[in-house]
Amino acid sequence: MARQQANESGVGEPSEQWREYQGAPTGTDLECEGWRQEAALRLLNNNLDPEVAERPEELVVYGGTGRAARSWDAYDAILEELRTLGDEETLLVQSGKPVGRFRTHERAPRVLIANSNLVGKWDDWEHFHELEAKGLIMYGQMTAGSWAYIGTQGIIQGTYETLAELARQEYEGSLEGRIVVTGGLGGMGGAQPLAVTMNEGVCIAADVDAARIDRRIETGYCQETADDVDDAIERAREAAEAGEPYSVGVHVNAADMLEAMLERDFVPDVLTDQTSAHDELEGYYPSGYAVEEADELRESDPDRYREESLDTMERHVDAILELQERGAVAFEYGNNIRGQVQEHRGMDEAFDYPGFVPAYVRPLFCRGKGPFRWLALSGDPEDIHRTDEAVKELFPEKDALHRWIDLAQEQVRFQGLPARVCWLGYQASDDEEGLTERARFALEINDLVAEGEIAAPIVVTRDHLDAGSVASPHRETEAMQDGSDAIADWPILNALLNCAAGADVVSVHDGGGVGIGNALHANNHVVLDGSDLAAEKARRVFTTDPGTGVIRHADAGYEAAIEEARESNVDVPMDER
Ligand code: NAD
């Protein structure tokens, strides 16, 4: 009997298995035939750990409606397939549903995933929502549908690095005494207050959902909650004057908060936003409603919801532009709020403030650097502490990396499987082997697993937001210097190359952080189980993957990428022409 498709809007009743798991299984006993399949099963369940996911009972991991599986029935079926999947087989997952299984070979990926992709002409929210209502497609966001989400800890280093770069460019390296104002304390946005205080600054963050603020306070990402905007400003000013790191959440619509700040002539030093503006229906909240009232409106009158949501975004962007005019350093933080008001409200001036990638991250991408991350399948935090030591020993000259690891150990709590994020890139070693930074690290970890210094395999993966894996004209590829922003060949090549190099899970998604039709992006996982096969895969994948970042930016003419390619012997066939 064909499995029952999730009905119109719902995903069905939460699976009994999920209730029993309550997160990833840990330890060294396997449910599957090998560690590669086991790792996929554990990471899927880690994504849906109530400590990790935002709304796991609806299969929503983060980022509006970013899901890990299409329905609970599909989730059960994926687990069933993974448990019996052989070492020479590959499972195909289409928008969160297992659709096929083929005999391949040992070096091939065990799981291939494609989420949310639509043919160009149909590639918009309207068609997506129609197909989603029929149970035919799922929003995979970035790491939700590719089973690589690790909670707010996953984005924290990226947010920290972005703000550190901003501090270097604007304030001689520190946010001390500076007030950063933002919106959105969800799965990703929740990292903002802690990233600001790690950079010694003060943060005011608005969220319409009081429960999200409470969650960030409980998990140590935000310090306090304010009574209202005035109270938040007062507390922030006091802390900034004293030069104390401080963060405060305020229960208010972000657009209303910024207008209140304008009325009071309060101009923050830095201004950004991470509400889920990429999705005007299921992510962003219109002004004038409590969360429950807005949720009811979405059900009863989605068209009106959409219009009011876009009206609020228009006011929100207007306020950002006005505060920028009055002196705030403003940047968009990857939620496509500028694109939304440009497309639906004709506001071309929205792009008068920059996106965070061209402003702060591209120089890193040129060197193949991006948010490399790893998880301990044992579930034992000691395994991650051992990897912390290893990364510091391996790169003794990298002061910023050492500072990051120390800060993370002190201030970032694990959620679900213990994990760590660390921006590493290409930068080949100058010995004969010429191994990349990422490969050197992965091989070291594989050795530690083989020697039994780490209790169980480590899975290495990354965000889709990486040097060579995304085409996203409003974010990762905004304002490319050769105008190639919208060319989506690159993430496809990246995914194909990840397969050729033997990654264990490879995925390609549409939409991600900026919404359907606005980005294509790819991801990979490699399981380091201490075997020679794992070493072989790690050596290849962690060369080709950051390598696509280098060639993509070299092709666009970035000097830093051309230099990196020459220094690290990355072949760029037309470099000399
Ligand atoms: P999320 O859906 O988990 O959280 C969004 C939060 O915004 C929720 O807490 C919601 O209550 C709040 N919110 C919505 N509208 C609001 C409004 N008008 N005023 C105040 N609060 C409002 O999403 P997330 O995972 O935190 O991601 C946030 C956004 O950032 C998304 O658009 C996502 O795609 C994007 N994103 C950015 C990056 C990056 O690197 N910068 C990475 C991933 C995602």
- One digit per residue, the tens of pLDDT, for the chain of length 577 reads 333 333 344 899 999 999 999 999 999 999 999 999 999 999 999 999 999 999 999 999 999 999 999 999 999 999 999 999 999 999 999 999 999 999 999 999 999 999 999 999 999 999 999 999 999 999 999 999 999 999 888 888 889 989 998 998 999 989 999 999 999 999 999 999 999 999 999 999 999 999 999 999 999 999 999 999 999 999 999 999 999 999 999 999 999 999 999 999 999 999 999 999 999 999 999 999 999 999 999 999 999 999 999 999 999 999 999 999 999 999 999 999 999 999 999 999 999 999 999 989 999 999 999 999 999 999 999 999 999 999 999 999 988 889 889 989 998 889 999 999 998 999 999 898 999 999 999 999 999 999 999 999 999 999 999 999 999 999 999 999 999 999 999 999 999 999 999 999 999 999 999 999 999 999 999 999 999 999 999 999 999 999 999 999 999 999 999 999 999 999 999 887 7
In DSSP terms, which residues pair with 271 in a beta bridge?
A: 181, 330
* Distance from the alpha carbon of residue 179 to the mean position of ligand 1, in angstroms: 20
Please indicate whether residue 273, judged by its CB atom, sits closer than 6 Å to ligand 1. no
- Supply the residue whose CA is at minimum distance from atom 38 of ligand 1: 334
> Is the distance from CB of 148 to CB of 463 less than 8 angstroms?
yes
Please indicate whether residue 64, judged by its CB atom, sits closer than 6 Å to ligand 1. yes
What per-residue confidence (pLDDT) applies to 367? 95
Give the residue ranges of DSSP H helices in 327-429.
337-345, 356, 362-366, 381-394, 399-411
Told to judge if 422 belongs to the known catalytic residues of this protein, a careful annotator would answer yes
* Distance from the alpha carbon of residue 141 to the mean position of ligand 1, in angstroms: 12
Please indicate whether residue 206, judged by its CB atom, sits closer than 6 Å to ligand 1. yes
Q: In this structure, how many other beta carbons lie within 10 angstroms of the beta carbon of residue 348?
A: 10
Which tokens in the block code for residue 422?
């660390």
Please indicate whether residue 197, judged by its CB atom, sits closer than 6 Å to ligand 1. no
Residues whose CB falls within 8 Å of the CB of residue 5, separated by 6 or more in sequence, listed in order: 71, 73, 134, 135
Ligand 1, from 188, 217, 291, 510: best to mutate by most atoms within 8 Å of Cβ? Answer: 188
Given strand 329-330, what is the order of strands in its sheet? 224-226, 246-251, 202-207, 179-183, 270-271, 329-330
What span, in angstroms and rounded, lies between the C-alpha atoms of 17 and 14? 9
Please indicate whether residue 188, judged by its CB atom, sits closer than 6 Å to ligand 1. yes
What span, in angstroms and rounded, lies between the C-alpha atoms of 239 and 247? 9
What's the DSSP call for residue 406? Answer: H
Which tokens in the block code for residue 432?
């004969």
Please indicate whether residue 338, judged by its CB atom, sits closer than 6 Å to ligand 1. no
Q: From the candidates 32, 203, 222, 422, which is the catalytic residue?
A: 422
> Is the distance from CB of 190 to CB of 222 less than 8 angstroms?
yes
What span, in angstroms and rounded, lies between the C-alpha atoms of 278 and 262? 25
Return the sign of the alpha-carbon dihedral for residues 435, 441, 446, 452: positive
What per-residue confidence (pLDDT) applies to 157? 87
Please indicate whether residue 460, judged by its CB atom, sits closer than 6 Å to ligand 1. no
- Supply the residue whose CA is at minimum distance from atom 31 of ligand 1: 276
> Is the distance from CB of 82 to CB of 91 less than 8 angstroms?
yes
What per-residue confidence (pLDDT) applies to 6? 37
Give the nearest ligand 1 atom to 333 CA: 41
What per-residue confidence (pLDDT) applies to 1? 33
Ligand 1, from 256, 274, 466: best to mutate by most atoms within 8 Å of Cβ? Answer: 274
Please indicate whether residue 250, judged by its CB atom, sits closer than 6 Å to ligand 1. no
What per-residue confidence (pLDDT) applies to 7? 39
What span, in angstroms and rounded, lies between the C-alpha atoms of 85 and 93? 13
Give the nearest ligand 1 atom to 285 CA: 15
Please indicate whether residue 360, judged by its CB atom, sits closer than 6 Å to ligand 1. no
Q: Which residue has the tokens 């995933």?
A: 113
> Is the distance from CB of 177 to CB of 241 less than 8 angstroms?
yes
Which tokens in the block code for residue 144?
């939700």
- Supply the residue whose CA is at minimum distance from atom 4 of ligand 1: 186
- Supply the residue whose CA is at minimum distance from atom 43 of ligand 1: 513
* Distance from the alpha carbon of residue 120 to the mean position of ligand 1, in angstroms: 26
Of the candidates 528, 530, 508, 527, the residue with the CA atom closest to the CA atom of residue 519: 508
Residues whose CB falls within 8 Å of the CB of residue 325, separated by 6 or more in sequence, listed in order: none
What span, in angstroms and rounded, lies between the C-alpha atoms of 51 and 23? 8
- Supply the residue whose CA is at minimum distance from atom 3 of ligand 1: 186
Please indicate whether residue 208, judged by its CB atom, sits closer than 6 Å to ligand 1. yes
> Is the distance from CB of 180 to CB of 206 less than 8 angstroms?
no
